[in-house]
Amino acid sequence: MKKMLLGLAAATTLFVACKSDKAVDLKFRLPQDEVVRYTTDMKQTINQTVMGSAMTVQQDVVFGMIYKVLSVQGDNRTVEVSYDRIAMETDAMGQHIKYDSRDSVGSNPQLAILNGMIGKPFQMTVSATGQVLQVSGFDAVLNGMTGNPNDPGAAAARQQFEQMFSDEAVKQMLAQSTYIYPEKTVKPGDTWTKTHTSNMGPIAMEINNTYKLESANDKTAKVSLNATIVGKTATGNGAIQGMTVDMKGKQSGTLTLEIATGILQKMDLTQDIDGNMEMQGMKVPMKIKSVSTTTGERAK
C-alpha cells in the first residue's frame, strides 16, 4: 500500500510539474520551408421561414489546405497556400448536392469546376500575430476553374465562386484560423481580443473574439474562445441590392497551439446566429448553427 501511495504521489508531482504558470509567447512563427496541412470540417444547419413556409438547409463542407513557408522577413512570413481537398454536401428543398475533389463518382458535374482549384498555389503574407497582411496570386486559382463552356449551370457556378473567392474574401477566410495570437506574452488566466469580419454571401459577420490561456506546458498551450457576432448587410462582392441584414449570435470553442511555432494543432468551434434578412418588404427569419473542427499537422 505504501508503494502504491508513493507511486500516486510521484505521478501527481510529475503531472503538476508538466504544467506551467510561466508566461508563454504565442506567435505565428513557422520556420522557413516548414510545411503544414490544415483541414477544416464544418457542419452547418440553416433554418429560415420564407412566406410562412419553413425551410432547412444542411451543409457539410471540408477544406484541406497546404501551407509552405517560403520566406521569413522580420516578424512576417510569406506562405504558399494551396488546396489539396474541397468537399461539400448540401441538402435543401428536397435536393441533394455532393462534391468531393478526391472522389468524382457521384459528384455534381456543375461543381467539377472546383477541381481546377486543387494544387494551384497562391501566396499570403502573415504577421507574427497571425494577421493576413496580403493575398496574391489567387486569380490564377480562379482561372483554373474552367468547367464545361457549354454548361450554363457550370458558368453560373463559376461566377458565384468568383464572387465568393475575391482576394478580400480569401484574406477573411484565412484570418479565421491565423489571426488568433496575443500581442504580448500571456500567463494562464490572461485574456486577449481579436476582431475580424467574415462575409457569408450577403451577410457580413463581425466577430469579436475573446481568447483565454487556460493552461500550458513545455510544448503546447490550451486556449478557450468566446465571441459575440453581429451580422450586417454586406457590401461589395456578394451584396444583393435592396437586401438588409440584422443578425446576432455567439461563438465558443477551444484551441491547442504548438508554442514553439504557433501551429494550430486543433480548433473546435460552435457558432449560433439568428436574426432577419429583409428584401422588398419581405422579412425572412433565420437561424444558423455551425460546428467546425480544424486540425493542423506537419506534412509528411
Q: Which residues make beta-bridge pairs with 296?
A: 38
Nine-digit cell string for 207: 466577430
Task: Write down the pLDDT at residue 170.
Answer: 83
Q: Which residues make beta-bridge pairs with 46?
A: 57, 288
Indicate the pLDDT class of residue 202, thresholds 50, 70 and 90: confident
Task: Write down the pLDDT at residue 16.
Answer: 45
- Which of helix, strand or coil describes residue 152? helix
**What average pLDDT does the segment 188-216 reach?**
90
Q: What percent of the chain has pLDDT over 70?
A: 84
pLDDT in tens, 52-89: 788 999 999 999 999 999 999 999 999 999 999 999 99
pLDDT in tens, 218-256: 999 999 999 999 988 877 666 677 788 899 999 999 999
Task: Write down the pLDDT at residue 112.
Answer: 81
Nine-digit cell string for 109: 458535374
Residues in Cβ contact with 159 at an 8 Å cutoff, skipping those fewer than 6 apart:
none
Could you tell me the pTM of the whole model?
0.84
Q: Is the pLDDT of residue 154 over 70?
A: no
Indicate the pLDDT class of residue 18, thresholds 50, 70 and 90: low
Domains and CATH numbers, the chain: 22-298 (2.30.230)
Q: Is the pLDDT of residue 8 over 70?
A: no
**Residue 27 one-letter amino acid:** K
Sequence-ordered alpha helix ranges (H) in 47-166: 138-143, 152-164
CA distances from 95 to 31, 58, 109, 159 (A): 46, 11, 15, 21
Sequence-ordered alpha helix ranges (H) in 102-238: 138-143, 152-164, 167-178
Task: Write down the pLDDT at residue 176.
Answer: 85
Task: Write down the pLDDT at residue 158.
Answer: 61
Per the model's pLDDT, the better-predicted residue between 284 and 107 turns out to be 284
Asked if 16 contacts 280 with a C-beta cutoff of 8 angstroms, the reply is no
Task: Write down the pLDDT at residue 14.
Answer: 47
